[in-house]
Amino acid sequence: MKMRNEQAIGIFIVAAGIIILLGKLGVFGFIGRHFWPLLLLLPGIALHALYYARVTPTWSLVPAGILTVYGILFGITNTWGGGLMSSLWPAFLLGIAAGLLEYGLAERYKPEFVLPAAWGIGALSIVLFGFTLLHTGIIYVLAILLILGGVWLLLGRGRGRKGW
C-alpha cells in the first residue's frame, strides 16, 4: 500500500512540474490567446450533435446556431485581426437569425412567428453587411461595375434591335 501512495504522489509531483514548466514557457497563454473562440464554437457544434442524436429538444438549436456563428466570427477576427469587427459586426444578428431559422425549420409544430423573425433578422443582417461593405473598397468595385454596365448598354447591346 505504501508503494502505491508513493507512486501516486510521484506522478502528481511530475504532472505539477510539467504544468508549471508549460505555464512558464507560455504554452497556456498561447492556447488561450489563439484558441479561445473554440469555447463558443465547440459547444455550438455539440448542441447540434446532441439535437441530431435526439438527446436535446428542438429549442436547443437556437443557442447552437448562435454559438456556432459567433465562434466562427470570433475565430475570423482572432486570426486576421480585431479590426475586421468594424465590417463583420452584422454577424451578431446573423447568429440570431441562424439559430431561429434552424429552430423554425426543425420544429414539428411550426411556431408562427419564428420563421418570419428569422428571415427578417437575416435580411437586416445582410443589408447591414452591404452598408458596412460600402464603407470599404467595395464601393470602387461597384462603381467600376456600373461604368462597365453602362458602356455595354451604350455600345454593344442595342445595335441590332430597336427599342428594348
Q: Which residues are within 8 A (CB) of 6 and not within 5 positions of it... i.e. 6 or more apart?
A: none
Tell me the pLDDT band of 93, cut-offs 50, 70 and 90: very high
How do residues 96-112 score in pLDDT, each as one tens digit?
999 999 999 998 887 88
Looking at every residue in the chain, the average pLDDT score rounds to 87
* Terminal alpha carbon distance of the chain: 96
* Mean pLDDT to the nearest integer, 102-126: 91
Q: Which phi and psi angles does 90 have, rounded to 5°?
A: -65, -10
CA distance 74 to 34: 10
How do residues 81-91 score in pLDDT, each as one tens digit?
888 888 889 99
Q: What angle, rounded to 10 degrees, do the helices at 38-52 and 61-80 form? A: 150
User: Which amino acid would we find at residue 107?
Assistant: E
CA distance 43 to 45: 5
Tell me the pLDDT band of 119, cut-offs 50, 70 and 90: very high
* Mean pLDDT to the nearest integer, 37-52: 93
User: Which amino acid would we find at residue 144?
Assistant: I
Tell me the pLDDT band of 164, cut-offs 50, 70 and 90: low
